[in-house]
Structure 1
Amino acid sequence: MTIFDVAPGRVIATLPRPAWEGEVVGSDEGREAVERAFEQARAGSAEGWAELYVVARPQLFRFARLRLASDEQAEDAVSETIVRAMGAAERYRAGSGVLAWLVGICRNVLHEAHRSGSRLQSVDPAGFVERATAVGDAGPAEQAVSRSEAGSLREAFALLSDTEQELLSLRVVVGLDAEAVGAVLGKRPGAIRMAQSRALDRLRGHLEEGS
């Protein structure tokens, strides 16, 4: 049994995974690919929806896998996200981007799974650690993070609040910018930047305490 009693999007999960497993989506090229696929899909192209799944899946999967107990559950969450996007495409309004919109839908899917009885675990530090060197500009906090050993970083990340973990995961693991993270979390970009700075300072502090 998966996290969904019925998973209408499982057919989408049978589509081939991209060979690059999502390294492109965090780039300008990747974000443009997501935007193009969505425009084709919204115009009524079945191939557009298939392409959207292929190009957006890696980031959505990473995000879902941080909070779910298995790859299968994360795949179901991604499929459900695309199915819901199909039903909401006409209501989409351009702003922070299609990927941020999809991540917001995926976030709702995860919270609904939790309310329905599935266990929504704390953010898996391992997923964050794998991508930690991708955090923005190299300020003092980012440098401390990138120089840290995986074990120390994992322990320090686990000491952050759930809100801080989610924010840093959206920035680091999913690769969203401050504006997009703000759209997902319902906050202004400036507030996201301040919260990110505080979270990184706390992370650096935990790393220094453990050294």
Structure 2
Amino acid sequence: MTPRAEPDLELENAAKAAGEGDPAAISAVLATIQPKVIRYCRARIGPSRQGYASADDVAQDVLLAVFTALPSYRDEGKSFLSFMFGIAAHKVADFHRKQRREPSTAVADVPERADSGNGPEQALLQAEMRQMVRDLVGTLPEKHQDVLVHRIMGEMTSEETAELLSSTPGAVRVAQHRALNSLRRRVTRQR
């Protein structure tokens, strides 16, 4: 036997034992194939702007799929590495198909909010609605505006808002109640 054939034979024996549920054999198989899987995925996918993150994610999927498939592995004339690379090829192909279907662009910073996916018409309607709300809130006394901005838009508690506005929590809640009632009356009159 050549020196190269011995590790393959060890892997074949470990794969058979792993298929029968031997935990030590499962660990040995996964430890042996992990570097091969990572190299394969990195070669087939290549680096992205974040390095090899996508390739490493696919490699992790391959290892998980191999782990799941171990109980069904049977020596049918092909080597375990052929079995493993077959799984890897399918996972890489799935990755490339997904990339074609759902192209994404890497960005330096994650946006604060997800894009709602609305079209231009919906975006225009939302912008008009925001402007109407701003105009309506602008008709309130300044104290009421401050309370609404901090309580509703800033999602602050009445205690936090009171501290910020040098007031009491009770006064903040009363001001919020009065401001909302005032807005409600104005909207009702506009209909």
TM over 0.5: no
TM-score band w.r.t. shorter chain: 0.3 to 0.5
TM-score (norm 2): 0.43
Q: Which has the higher contact order (CA 8 A, sep 6+)?
A: 1
Larger Rg: 2
